[in-house]
């Protein structure tokens, strides 16, 4: 061990790491609180129960997609250039939505249509897994290529047009309520609970964190690193398929342009790393980030601010999160 590394691992190094980590996390929470307080003071109707549950309902689609992205980051590592990432999720959702609406229009039942859509999403995820794990292509490049393949397939299927859809399942998702809370809001709550149990309270979740954080040690312990990483992409594909059913229920159709959600998915998943102890995604942190983005968009709408500003803020959030976490990790070296 060199003197430099010894110094870095000594009390001063640990103190520097702790200060940097605290500063990043405190800054994230501070920004979250400041934005919410601003909207509470100046956005009319922001704190009404109707508006709050409306934001939760609107966040259901983003939440499912963000959880899928978070799983990929957990299993592949949170290094933004070489770690796990799936840029094809939004395009995969668009393809699945087009397939779902087209099948319903063709007269197939909800059961058959949903099963087919889950298969489509899983296949796209498997293609990502083959490219990343089988061919060794960087996740950024591999999933970028698959994103374009999925986007092209959607345009071919729909001819870049809106595909209307209606079914008993869509009607239930769109209008159903329990305890005066919409089905979509309940779906986000229950899905988050299932994800929390699976990731934080099962052996599979703990092994997944080990695979993403210390792949060599996980491999030495006998864990199938390649298998776990592959399954994260397949799971992300399934999340895209589930989200596609939700988005068709909200719009009563499959519409082009789903890839515009990619920025929101990345912002939610990456911001979720800041709310964790080790700068890796957690279910609680990801859910908090999803709701933050939902309230951010809602607050801008209530203030009659152009929605285009939301994209700008999300882009800035991604830059800040990547820069802040890179700095904090640098303190660990």
Annotate 25-76 with three-state secondary structure: HHHHHHHHHHHHHHHHHHCCCCCCHHHHHHHHHHCHHHHHHHHHHHHHHHHH
- Asked if pLDDT for residue 101 goes beyond 70, the answer is yes
Q: What pLDDT does residue 241 have?
A: 96
Q: What pLDDT does residue 3 have?
A: 40
Q: What is the mean pLDDT of residues 288-292?
A: 89
pTM of the entire predicted model: 0.88
| Length in residues, the chain | 333
Residue that has been written with the tokens 């957690």 in this structure: 282
pLDDT range class, residue 133, cuts 50, 70, 90: very high
pLDDT range class, residue 314, cuts 50, 70, 90: confident
SS3 181: strand
- Asked if pLDDT for residue 292 goes beyond 90, the answer is no
Q: What pLDDT does residue 252 have?
A: 87
Q: What is the mean pLDDT of residues 270-293?
A: 83
Supply the mean pLDDT for the chain: 85
pLDDT range class, residue 17, cuts 50, 70, 90: low
DSSP secondary-structure letter at 165?
-
Q: What pLDDT does residue 69 have?
A: 95
Report long-range pairs for 168-176 (Cβ below 8 Å, ≥24 apart): 168/110, 169/110, 169/114, 169/245, 169/249, 170/104, 170/110, 170/245, 170/248, 170/249, 170/252, 173/245, 173/246, 173/249, 174/249, 174/250, 174/252
Q: What pLDDT does residue 331 have?
A: 53
Largest interatomic CA distance in the chain: 72
Q: What is the mean pLDDT of residues 89-104?
A: 95
Q: What pLDDT does residue 236 have?
A: 96
- Asked if pLDDT for residue 189 goes beyond 60, the answer is yes
């Amino acid at each position: 061990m060199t003197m430099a590394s010894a110094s870095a691992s000594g009390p001063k190094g640990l103190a520097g790491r702790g200060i940097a980590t605290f500063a990043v996390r405190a800054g994230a929470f501070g920004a979250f609180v400041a934005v919410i307080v601003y909207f509470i003071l100046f956005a009319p109707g922001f704190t009404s129960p109707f508006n709050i549950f409306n934001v939760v309902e609107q966040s259901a689609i983003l939440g499912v997609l963000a959880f899928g992205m978070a799983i990929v980051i957990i299993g592949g590592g949170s290094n933004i250039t070489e770690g796990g990432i799936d840029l094809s999720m939004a395009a995969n959702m668009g393809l699945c939505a087009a397939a779902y609406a087209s099948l319903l229009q063709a007269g197939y039942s909800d059961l058959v249509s949903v099963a087919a859509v889950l298969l489509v999403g899983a296949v796209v995820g498997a293609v990502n897994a083959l490219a990343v794990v089988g061919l060794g292509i960087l996740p950024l490049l591999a999933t970028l290529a698959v994103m374009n393949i999925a986007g092209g397939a959607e345009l071919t299927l729909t001819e870049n047009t809106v595909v209307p859809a209606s079914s008993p399942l869509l009607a239930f998702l769109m209008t159903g309520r329990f305890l005066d809370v919409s089905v979509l809001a309940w779906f986000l709550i229950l899905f988050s609970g299932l994800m929390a149990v699976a990731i934080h309270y099962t052996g599979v979740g703990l092994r997944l964190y080990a695979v993403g954080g210390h792949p060599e040690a996980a491999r030495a312990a006998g864990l199938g690193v390649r298998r776990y990483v592959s399954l994260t992409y397949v799971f992300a594909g399934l999340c895209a398929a589930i989200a596609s059913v939700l988005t068709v229920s909200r719009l009563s159709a499959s519409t082009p342009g789903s890839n515009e959600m990619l920025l929101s998915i990345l912002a939610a998943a990456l911001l979720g790393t800041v709310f964790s102890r080790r700068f890796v995604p957690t279910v609680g942190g990801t859910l908090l980030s999803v709701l933050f983005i939902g309230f951010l968009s809602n607050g801008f709408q209530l203030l009659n601010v152009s929605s285009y500003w939301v994209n700008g803020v999300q882009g800035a959030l991604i830059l800040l999160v990547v820069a802040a976490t890179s700095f904090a990790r640098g303190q660990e070296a």
